[in-house]
Structure 1
Amino acid sequence: MKTKPQTFKHVSYLWDEEKAASLGDDEVALLIYRSNILGADLRITNYGGGNTSCKTMEKDPLTGKAVEVMWIKGSGGDIGTLTKAGLAGLYVDKLRSLEGVYRGIAHEDEMVGLFNHCIYDLDSKAPSIDTPLHAFLPFKHIDHLHPDAAIAIAASKEGEKITQELFEGQIAWVPWQRPGFDLGLQLRDALEANPGIRGIMLGGHGLFTWGDTAHECYTNSLEVIEKASAFLEENYGKKRPVFGGKKTKALDPAQRKDQAAKIAPLLRGLASSYNRMVGTFNDSETVLQFINSHDLTKLAPLGTSCPDHFLRTKIAPLVLDIPADQELSDLSALKSHIEKLFAQYREGYKDYYEKHKRSNSPAMRDPNPVIILWPGVGMFSYAKDKQTSRVASEFYINAINVMRGAEAVSEYVSLPLQEAFDIEYWLLEEAKLQRMPKEKPLSRKVALITGSAGGIGKAIADKFAAEGACVVLTDIDGDRLDKARKDFGKDAAIAVKLDVLDNDTIAQAYAAACLAFGGVDIIVNCAGLAISKPLPETTEADWDLLNDVLVKGQFKVSQAGVAVMRAQGLGGDIINIASKNALVSGPNNVAYGTAKAAQVHMSRLLAAELGPDKIRVNVVNPDAVIEGSKIWEGKWAEGRAKAYGVTVEELPAFYAKRTLMNEIISTEDIANGVFAFVGGILSKSTGNILNVDGGVAAAFVR
């Protein structure tokens, strides 16, 4: 049967009839499709939030009989990116039979282990805590979502009354309770007490909706969310201005970003006192409306309501009490004040932990804030990687939307602190954290690489991203840079055009790094060029160009980067890509070799100066890396071939044969050499030179 497209104002109707038809009667495929399009709209549910399921009849592999199986998003998954591998498939009758061994709400956690005895599909993802919430409802397709509009009603003081009146009894109400087996029984009881309803509102938490088909479930969910959204919209500003009206005037966009970029490294350093963090900055209109309002001081300390919100953002943010236009040219004057704010936050978090911990609670986690609000400027979020900090930012925006809606129609109510603590330090949540894969060596690190649109620089960027780093690609060639950026994921990299001789573009690149990631931990000076000429043919322009780009460029980029690193107070790495020619005297190479030698000695000087800041400075010396290099596209290759009496085509083999190992050097080899310095095993090495040249005896440092 053909579905009828619908129009919604507050949510996106993304159902594609042709796509759905191509899936035929495969209900599991339709579940995945429905989940993905629901997760594509952050107004419907946030990353990793909510759950979806369907029930099908399958052949029992042991008895050959038809059995009902529930397919549900597994633990820790995200409906927007859900695949078959992310589902758990469980026998419905076995799940429901667990009621016979359920010992009550004090024994909730032991039920999760019993879910494994109900698994039908042996390739299942670990079943989530939401499994019984779906199992005890009879519907074939079920959505459990966290739409801002629904949670705004669910988190309001008069939420139950509003739900009853707005939906005319078609949406039942179940008061707040932590997800688990008992809540599943309560959903069943709510349905039995209210036959014919189309959904259930979970107090302070979210929404359950359903349907006989994937499409009916999808449209039912959208219709309920649309109705809730329209109701909130009608009430914004009706009783009083949104969030009590504006208290602080926002700076203009350029000023906001300038202030944020300047302070971000300082905030990142303080937020990283337990573990290094990666940041995200957001100054959207939603954020500004909240942080600039009169109600900020009332609502921010209350914390969030939905469990997914505070698990990602902590129970409450840190609010900076400094003017938006504070002079930031010298952060040292401001640092002591912000350090006190962080200290107060950590003490408050420790007090929250001590007052609410149970006898078996996990040890206290990092007490630093995840969300930092600066009225007039914007919101900063800090987490273990870019994706997590970006998602934390998105979740706090969800929380802002919830508070705005709840205050418009009633009064916002956050979870009691004990309830919040019991979820944050839930043993099942701790077990999930312990199952997380081991972090990669460059996780939590941010690297800015000059000349990284191709050749050696691009290979270094690829290596760093593969090892977990956030990468700032920079290059003077904008078109080549744009092309290189496409090779990296959404959260892995940004691309900024940079001329190493232009102070403005250098500053812009570091500002972009601070806004996107919070700062910089690794600087790789890789930008370069080469000119090979005999002494009589080497012009003053040749000399100036080589020494400007290679020497002055390294100086400028390092100088600006060190300022960011010092503001963070986390140490760091500078890796300078020099050359075998810095150590070996070759023919027709006076300007290039001199510049490369200057790069190496500058590295030693910086290592000596920056050691007390825990900033390591090391050198990687490549030789004859022809692969992907723009240097070899021009006259440099012709000049080197002429110097050695071979053709350009013979150069790779010529260079390989003159090495002790008889090896051609690739860009990947150089990237591995750079990684050796920054990957953790040489964390106490500075002022060193690593030759990656296949073995050139004349280049031996000692």
Structure 2
Amino acid sequence: MTNPAVTDLITRSNRLGADPKNTNYAGGNTSAKGTETDPVTGEPVELLWVKGSGGDLGTLKESGLAVLRLDRFRSLVNVYPGVDREDEMVAAFDYCLHGKGGAAPSIDTAMHGLVDANHVDHLHPDSGIAIATAADGEELTAKIFGDKVVWVPWRRPGFQLGLDIAAIKDRNPQAIGTILGGHGITAWGDTSEEAEQNSLWIIETAAAYIAEHGEAEPFGGVRAGFEALPEVERRAKAAALAATIRGLASTDKPMVGHFTDAAVVTDFLASERAPELAALGTSCPDHFLRTKVKPLILDLPADASIEESIARLHELHEAYRADYQAYYDAHATADSPAIRGADPLIVLIPGVGMFSYGANKQTARVAGEFYINAINVMRGAESLSTYTPISDAEKFRIEYWALEEAKLQRMPKPKTHQGRIALVTGAASGIGKAIATRLAAEGACVVVADLDLEKAQAAAAELGNTDVAIGVAANVADADAIQAAFDAAVLAFGGVDLVVNNAGLSLSKPLLETTEKDWDLQHDVMAKGSFLVSKAAAKILIEQKLGGDVIYISSKNSVFAGPNNIAYSATKADQAHQVRLLAVELGEHGVRVNGINPDGVVRGSGIFAAGWGANRAATYGVKEEDLGQFYANRTILKREVVPENVADAVYVLTGPELSRTTGLHIPVDSGVAAAFLR
């Protein structure tokens, strides 16, 4: 049975974490103390349950808690070697674990274990950090909260900070919490309800004071020409710049992107003081660990041309990398981890919005959310005082902390397609859906493109939330519709790396019954459609300079002359030769182009369900329900081909194992000798 203290802790944590005014995603930690029976001695034992490293309060479960014995944890005070060696204490936390210990204890465990209160909350609210980063934060803390909240000067999270907060509580029995300089807040209570109420009181009191006493326009007036463009224009410009920006942000390692044109961002970028404040960077460790110490901000007005903006972004990126290298060189010591990359994670485009980047979509999205937190913090601090983040030296001590490096090294090995963005046409059913499903399972972000928007969105939802997949409408025979689909892709995920030309249909008719309309429809969807999709994709792939893959789902009919199939087979032959032509043309850009030749994929196929199956069954003189087995029986392996077999081939062709392969057609037909490639 779950301990009541744990039940209360989870409930409180989820409530606090569900509201972004209280803390950011994965930010902060909460704890509870209580008693259980030691299964070894049968005696009562005092325990600490605290959110483990890397967890998120809003979604916290019992499995995300670290469980420690309080008697052993408190005894660590007796062996503490001092602030210069406080990092050694983290390894000692493992010797305090109870039972299997639960999640890994975080660096903040000390403030929870050493503070003499049954329940402790450490949070990163915008209103609290605004006070914490104000130049006169200590005076403001006393003015706003009286003696109920005590100021704690900036100190890097760790054992000493836990000792400091514990001592402050002991010396100030009337206090309910602290403002941690440059960082956030900590509050406590004898009960879970009291701790939560105290946390919320600090957050809401700070917010109310800022609202009542703060300057109305702390960012100054509006810079003429830097105001937000109309929605259609700004999103079109964002889509036009996305590939360039992602390529720059991925100079050191590939990144997934996220775009937002929320008013809080565009208003900030339109303000007079945006360049000055952005250059100061963020302060809360949770913020700059996700956003880097400062963003790259384009210094051109909103109506600057795409060409001018791209040229300037390249210049600014070069300067940003040099500046970041100088920051690293100025603060690194002999035992510092190697530089992790000098590219920006936040790119701000006046009049348009913000691009944020990370190893995956969730990380990229959260980085953007954190920068919005930083904007709110700057607004609050500037409205009352002067925004004064912690120094670059202290930021470096956090960013390149050995404990942070160890945390990164513990992360699981990425899947083969993590960080890659795939667009699959005709992906709401059949082969396309199987391909989208496999790519998502291997870590890719997937754009499910289909003629039917509702079905595309439903198929995407099956793969996961919008951090995993989105559904878009795409009539592949319409160049404008294709461009709209790619625009949606780059705004959702930052760019495109992998495109699968799968959309298709078939009309099974002999030559004399095939009309001009039949011929045009087949060629518009597959030959012309693949050409248009590949052309739109190539523009992005070339601009990103990250290489990429284009896959054509052709057919064994591209080389095999089957009966009553003139229009379909001819267009598949067209697709097959597009593979060869584009492999040659796009190879210099690192883009691989390959094809897959399936045969007789009946199960789950949209083409077969739409009448093609009945026509082919009639052609071969078999029942439609027996068609799959008929195709299997005529193969060498005597095994039916299903959509997942084609998806497997896409996975292999676009994975690391065949990185030197282009211009290839892989048969997925269980062996049709007449379709062997020559």
Q: TM-score range by the shorter chain?
A: over 0.9
1:258-337 aligned at under 5 Å gives the runs 258-328=236-306, 331=307, 335-337=310-312
1:71 to 41, 49, 59: 49
Match for 2:171 among 179, 188, 193? 193
- Matched to 2:512, the amino acid is P
* Amino acid of the structure 1 residue aligned with 2:106: S
Match of 2:507 in 1: 531
- Aligned residue identity for 2:586: L
Question: Structure 2 residue aligned with 1:39, among 17, 42, 46?
Answer: 17
Q: Which amino acid is the alignment partner of residue 655 of structure 2? A: G
- Superposed, which structure 2 residues align to 1:524-563 within 5 Å? 524-563=500-539
Alignment partner of 1:633 out of 606, 609, 623: 609
Q: Aligned residue for 1:484?
A: 459
Q: C-alpha separation between the residues in 2 aligned to 1:534 and 1:639?
A: 11
* Offset from partner CA, 1:237-263 (integer Å, 9 cap, x none): 34xx23112112221111111111100
Q: Is the 8 A contact 2:461 2:470 kept in 1?
A: no
Q: Is the 8 A contact 2:458 2:471 kept in 1?
A: no
Report the secondary structure of 2:411's partner residue. coil
Report the alpha carbon displacement of residue 24 of structure 1 after superposing the two structures with TM: 9.1
Question: Shift in Å at residue 607 of structure 1?
Answer: 1.1
Shift of 1:363: 0.8
Question: Do 2:215 and 2:384's aligned partners in 1 also have CA atoms closer than 8 Å?
Answer: no
In structure 1, the residue matched to 2:77 is 99
User: For residue 691 of structure 1, what is the amino acid of its counterpart?
Assistant: P
Task: Give, as a single letter, the amino acid of the residue that structure 2 aligns with 1:446.
Answer: I
Tell me whether 1:29 sits opposite 2:1 in the alignment: no
Partner of residue 225 from structure 1, selected from 203, 208, 228:
203
1:352 is aligned with what amino acid?
Answer: Y
Secondary structure (helix, strand or coil) at the match of 2:470 reads strand
Residue 564 of structure 1 is matched in structure 2 by 540
Say if 2:258 and 2:492, in contact at 8 Å, map to a contact too: yes
Aligned partner letter, 1:258: A
The answer to whether structure 1 residue 474 and structure 2 residue 474 are counterparts is: no
Matches within 5 A, 1:168-567: 168-238=146-216, 241-247=217-223, 248-328=226-306, 331=307, 335-490=310-465, 491-567=467-543
Find the aligned partners of 2:309 and 2:291 in 1 and give their Cα distance: 25
Which amino acid letter does the alignment assign opposite residue 161 of structure 1? Answer: E
1:655 and 2:651 equivalent?
no
Unmatched segments (≥5 aa) in structure 2: none
Q: Give unpaired runs (5+ residues) of structure 1.
A: 1-22
Q: Report the Cα offset of residue 141 of structure 1.
A: 1.5
Q: Is the 8 A contact 2:603 2:628 kept in 1?
A: no
Q: Match of 1:118?
A: 96
Q: Report which stretch shifted further, 111-120 or 626-635.
A: 626-635
Tell me by how many angstroms 1:63 deviates. 2.1
Deviations 1:316-357 (A, max 9, x none): 1111122322222xx4x6544322211111111111111111
**1:69-118 deviation digits (Å, cap 9, x = unpaired):** 00001112111221122111001111111011111000011100101111
Q: Counterparts of 1:637 and 1:187 in 2: how far apart (Å)? A: 73
More divergent stretch after superposition (392-401 vs 244-253): 244-253
Q: What secondary structure is seen at the aligned counterpart in 2 of 1:681? A: helix
> Partners in 1 of 2:195 and 2:64 — Cα distance?
20
Q: What is the TM-score when the length of structure 1 is the normalising length?
A: 0.94
Q: Contact 2:297 / 2:347 at 8 angstroms: preserved in 1?
A: yes
- Sequence identity, in percent? 52
Q: Which SS does the other structure have where 1:249 is aligned?
A: coil
Deviation at 1:652, TM superposition (A): 1.1
- Residues 477 and 524 in structure 2, CA contact (< 8 A), matched pair in contact too: yes
Q: Which amino acid aligns with 1:203?
A: G
The structure-2 alpha-carbon separation of the partners of 1:390 and 1:343, relative to structure 1 and needing over 3 Å to count, comes to same
Deviations, residues 202-247 of structure 1 (Å, cap 9, x unaligned): 1111111122222222222222211111111123434xx2311211
Q: Conserved in 2, the CA contact under 8 Å of 1:88 and 1:121? A: no
User: Is structure 2 residue 673 aligned with structure 1 residue 697?
Assistant: yes
Cα distance in 1 between the residues matched to 2:47 and 2:376: 37
Report the number of matched residues.
675
Mapped to 2, the partners of 1:438 and 1:416 lie a distance apart of 33
Distance 2:531 2:582 in 1: 10
Correspondence 1:148 to 2:126: yes
Distance 1:105 1:586 in 2: 79
Runs of 4+ in 1 over 6 A off after TM superposition: none
Q: Tell me the alpha carbon deviations over residues 616-651 of structure 1, each in whole angstroms, 9 at most, x when there is no partner.
A: 111011111112212111321111111111110110
